[in-house]
Chains A and B, each alone.
Chain A
Amino acid sequence: MAGRKRVAETTEVLLQGNVAVAEAAIAVGCRFFGGYPITPSSEIMVRMAELLRADDGVFIQMEDELASICAVIGASWSGAKSMTATSGPGLSLMQEALGYAYFTETPLVLVDIQRAGPATGQATHVGQGDMMQFKYGSHGDVFPVALVPWSVQECYDLTIRAFNLSEKFRVPVFLAADEAVGHLRENVVLHRNFEVVDRIKEGAGDPFGSPLPDGVPIMPAFGDGGRLMVTGSTHDGRGFRKVDDPEIHDTLVTRLMRKTLDHVDEIVEVEEYMLDDAEIAFFAYGVSARSALAAAKRLRSKGVKAGLLRALTIWPFPEKQVTQLGARVKTIVVPELNKGMITGVARGFTGTPVHAFAQTNGKIIEPDSLVKFVEGLP
């Protein structure tokens, strides 16, 4: 493949997180990228332009983020695995179409390299302030999937997983990354040997109903002869608009919810560190989980039994895992680069005290400040 050096399966190379996202997208079969430049995500777009053009894929720089996400949805219906990348302001503009993608069951991957918001905020500095937007940014009930990488290796691995989940469940999937991880350069192995999931194009049932056994309908592409009717209005299994039938609306909204929630065990991934005998646990995600892991080790060296539960999937929320964590430890601390968004969610699933370590200064959390915070807890 032109534009790219082949490296052996196990060779570690130095790559930036954003570049690893692009490499992964191509490796898993992404054929379309539509985007609009925004710091700190632009390296993804630049690398996608190089890689797709070298390999007969489609790259297009659109006029704004509204257009980018819509083009991605259109391309997905033409049969191409499709992706866009942006940051907070662009994510805000994309929300209406993201609801459309969800409601029309359009597979796509949206990479959000979070920066310090709201508004233009600090464009070159890190934040984790979009966590609720993935889940609540759209109007109506939506149950999308959001994965959170904490390293460059995971920028690669979770981008692959994001495509696979989106194809399997016909749902938009977010890669909820951040500036620190996106701009970090680290060792990464660009594996080629992984499972690739593709949408099921043919089979029993209609494209918006009569689901296959796991609840996901078939998805033919435009031009395949399916005479598709894709609409963001409420629709029946074939796609006919049904804008007054209460039962059809409720059935559709419920089926789409079940599609993700009935598969939480497959979708939700967490990792445990030093939790066996832990009395205090961090519950963390993304780059903040690295601060937490370093802090937990330092606390242990001072005799404090600390551990970490790390979420690789933040939506659907790891409800069960947080409940179980609460049963095991006396205190939970959630370090995050916002004013406690996920802390609040976690509190809903355990009676154990959950403390926020909320940092919004555009920097990642220093382990020693977490250590001090834990030592100061009652």
Chain B
Amino acid sequence: MNHAMNRSPVQVRIGGEAGQGVILAGVMLAQAAIGDGRKVAQSARYGAAVRGGEATADLVISDTPIDYPHVETPDILVVFSQQTYDKFAPAGTGDTKVFYDPFFVTPSKTAGGSLWEISATEMAIEKFGKSTSSNLIVLGFIAQLTEVVSEESLLAAIEQNLPSRHRAAGLEALAMGKKAAVEAGA
């Protein structure tokens, strides 16, 4: 995938619950962005609870050094929980691309931005018998649709982060996400 120089910075937020692989998805996206030769600032937020609380990964991706390192208004919002959808989905107008997993989220009619549904949890359970690679399906989906990171860099980031016994499944999950995006009419 070709990247034109000096695209404007992209702000990405991935929200869900601790244990859904939200932070790992953020880290892999950040590594992929660096692989693309870009600057990235990635931060994470957890709720007060150690288990099962809200978890959010934020990224700013830019071709130039990043001043303010946190997300102000996401360009890309990925939500794996109703709670983070309700909290972060833009009200009224806005250019935010919102990606949601219908297994957890029912979007409201009033929220703005453009809405993309990706049944990652269902797809993961159907294919692998458990939901753990749903975060990778979503990454494949948004990489294809938004070109926020290149496919090669994302593949490299997955190789780097997944232990070898999970790698093949990880790459397959990514491909499933990509295919779903193509079918969704990218």
Contacts and interface: CB of A to CB of B under 8 A. Distances in A.
Interface stretch (B14-22, B68-76, B79-87, B93-101): B68-76
B126 interface: no
Nearest to B38: A187
A187 B72 contact: no
A185 B68 contact: no
B40 A14 contact: yes
Interface in B52-77: 66-70, 72
A87 interface: no
A151 B41 CA distance: 9
Interface stretch (B26-34, B128-136, B141-149): B26-34
A367 interface: yes
Nearest to B70: A364
B44 A183 contact: yes
Contacts, number: 55
A186 B27 contact: no
Given A14-B27, A14-B31, A186 B46 contact: no
Contacts of A96: none
Nearest to A293: B67
Select the residue from A290, A366, A367, A368 with max chain B CB neighbours within 10 A.
Answer: A290
B167 interface: no
B34 A13 contact: yes
Interface string A277-297: 000000000010011011001
B42 A185 contact: yes
Given A14-B30, A14-B31, A184 B68 contact: no
Contact of B69 (A12, A124, A184): A184
B34, B43, B46, B68 — most chain A CB neighbours (10 Å): B68
Contact of B67 (A124, A183, A186, A297): A297
A356 interface: no
Contact of A187 (B39, B67, B70): B39
Contact of A124 (B46, B66, B68): B46
Interface in B86-124: none
A290 B43 contact: no
B46 A184 contact: no
A271 B72 CA distance: 25
A180 interface: yes
B42 A291 contact: no
A367 B43 CA distance: 17
A184 B31 CA distance: 13
A interface, how many residues as a size bin?
20 to 34
A187 B44 CA distance: 16
Q: Which of A13, A184, A368 has the most CB of B within 10 A?
A: A184
Contacts of B48: 124
A368 B70 CA distance: 13
Contact of A184 (B39, B43, B72): B43
Contacts of A185: 27, 30, 40-43
Q: Which of B27, B43, B44 neighbours the largest number of chain A CB atoms within 10 Å of its CB?
A: B43
Contact of A14 (B34, B46, B69, B70): B34
Contact of A291 (B34, B40, B44, B68): B68
Contacts of B68: 290-291, 293-294, 364, 366-367
A186 B67 CA distance: 12
Contacts of A187: 34, 39-40
A291 B27 CA distance: 23
Given A12-B34, A14-B30, A14-B34, A184 B67 contact: no
Given A14-B34, A185-B27, A185-B30, A180 B43 contact: yes
B43 A368 contact: no
B87 to A, nearest CB: 15
Interface string A171-205: 00000000010011111000000000000000000
A290 B69 contact: yes
Nearest to A297: B67
A186 B72 contact: no
A366 B72 contact: yes
Nearest to A181: B69
Q: By CB atoms of chain A within 10 A, which of B34, B40, B67, B72 has the most? A: B67
Contacts of A151: 69
A13 B32 CA distance: 10
Contacts of B43: 180, 183-185
B138 to A, nearest CB: 19
Nearest to A12: B34
4 A-B pairs closest in CB distance: A294-B67, A294-B68, A185-B42, A293-B67
Given A293-B67, A368-B72, 11 more contacts: A14-B34, A184-B41, A186-B39, A186-B42, A187-B34, A287-B69, A291-B67, A364-B69, A367-B67, A367-B68, A367-B72
6 contacts: A184-B69, A185-B42, A290-B68, A291-B67, A364-B69, A367-B67
